Amino acid sequence: MAAAFLCVLAENTGVSTAGKYISFTVQPCDTPRFLLPVTRNSARKVYERDFSVCLSGPLKFNYSDTNAFVQWMEMNLLLGAQKIIIYNNSGGPELLPYTRYYTRLGLLEIIQWPMPEGVTQRGSDSVWNFAQRAMMNDCLYREMYKAKYVVFTDLDEVILPGSETAYTWSDILHESGCHTKVMAVARNTFYLTNLRDDSRIDKYKVATHLNLTFLLKTRRQDYFWPEKHRSKIIMRPEYIDSTLIHMAFPIGGRRDSTSCRLNPDIAALQHYRSFRKIKHRYRSILDNRAARFSDRLIQRTSRVHREVTEMYSS
């Protein structure tokens, strides 16, 4: 299992400032078996960026879908992301040129996330989903005071505006009034990937060539899941004590007064998944709210693939 530890720094403990490294022992006089470097973040008057994105699960099982990766990166950048943080357990070699490309641009940070020897995904020595919750909180605290907002989504998800006047996450927050709150919760709806691609969309052939599921899949469940059930959050990290996958805990515990529920007409979490993998089934309806981003997403993803090919083909 994964666990979080809080080390209190106070004058009456004799330790008032953090050192360069920290370790843990079972007994006070035990010899430390490892040293962890301390990341020092401190409050500042001006944030380095407005929005950071943390991939809410590590790259694993030799993940190598370059089309889906570039689509997710570029859509998040379109929506306002200025830095994207990804934890890597076992991304495939096909992905490496793309992660290097974005890293060189200063848009991506890769943090290696190996599991300790002997740790499995099942059984008594298991850590659920590669210590996903520990990873998410690590990302939350790394971005604290650096980014005004942190967004957690998976590679098959995107928090997308539904309002015709909103094009970015900043637009969403101000239009909904959630910019005054600590958390803005986007409710989940499934876009069904096993249904046929919508051949009526603009530039259908190009979108098909790039496998842009955010554009090609236009039918979703006629249902938005309740808050805390598959929802994802835009949050102010400095006011968050800890986060889970679908909910977060603000400092002081006043969740109701600090959380803002986004109306799905303004923004929703679009989750692209096969109908066969969804337990609760509802009829599908047409909802092509991603169409407004079509031209820019196609242009940007095409450019990335072309530049990566030119950079690494020799």
Span 257-268, pLDDT tens digits: 789 999 999 999
pLDDT score at 21: 82
pLDDT score at 128: 80
> What is the Cα–Cα distance from 84 to 281, expressed in whole angstroms?
33
Q: Check residues 194 and 82 and name the one with the higher pLDDT.
A: 82
> What is the Cα–Cα distance from 54 to 143, expressed in whole angstroms?
9
Whether 155 is in a domain gets the answer: yes
> Above 80 in pLDDT, residue 67?
yes
Whether 7 is in a domain gets the answer: no
> What is the Cα–Cα distance from 105 to 110, expressed in whole angstroms?
13
Whether 36 is in a domain gets the answer: no
Span 164-190, pLDDT tens digits: 999 999 999 999 999 999 999 999 999
> Above 60 in pLDDT, residue 123?
no
> What is the Cα–Cα distance from 298 to 3, expressed in whole angstroms?
42
* pTM, 2 dp: 0.89
Task: Tell how strand 284-286 and strand 219-221 pair up.
Answer: antiparallel
Nearest to 261 by CA among 170, 190, 187, 172: 187
pLDDT score at 254: 63
Mean pLDDT of the chain: 90
309 contacts: CB under 8 Å, gap ≥ 6: none
pLDDT score at 116: 80
Percent of the chain with pLDDT over 70: 88
DSSP class of 263 = -
Give the count of domains, the chain.
1
Domain that holds residue 287: 48-312
Q: Identify the three-state secondary structure at position 84.
A: strand
Whether 266 is in a domain gets the answer: yes
Identify whether the C-beta of residue 254 lies closer than 8 Å to the C-beta of residue 240: no
3-state helix, strand, coil in the chain (%, to 5): 30, 25, 45
Identify whether the C-beta of residue 270 lies closer than 8 Å to the C-beta of residue 160: yes
Positive/negative CA dihedral, 244, 246, 250, 256: negative
> Above 70 in pLDDT, residue 129?
yes
Whether 14 is in a domain gets the answer: no
The CATH number that applies at residue 228 is: 3.90.550
pLDDT score at 282: 75
Whether 122 is in a domain gets the answer: yes
Whether 35 is in a domain gets the answer: no
Whether 249 is in a domain gets the answer: yes
> What is the Cα–Cα distance from 134 to 266, expressed in whole angstroms?
31
Helix (H) or strand (E) holding 60: none
> Above 70 in pLDDT, residue 14?
no
Tokens of 111: 């943090």
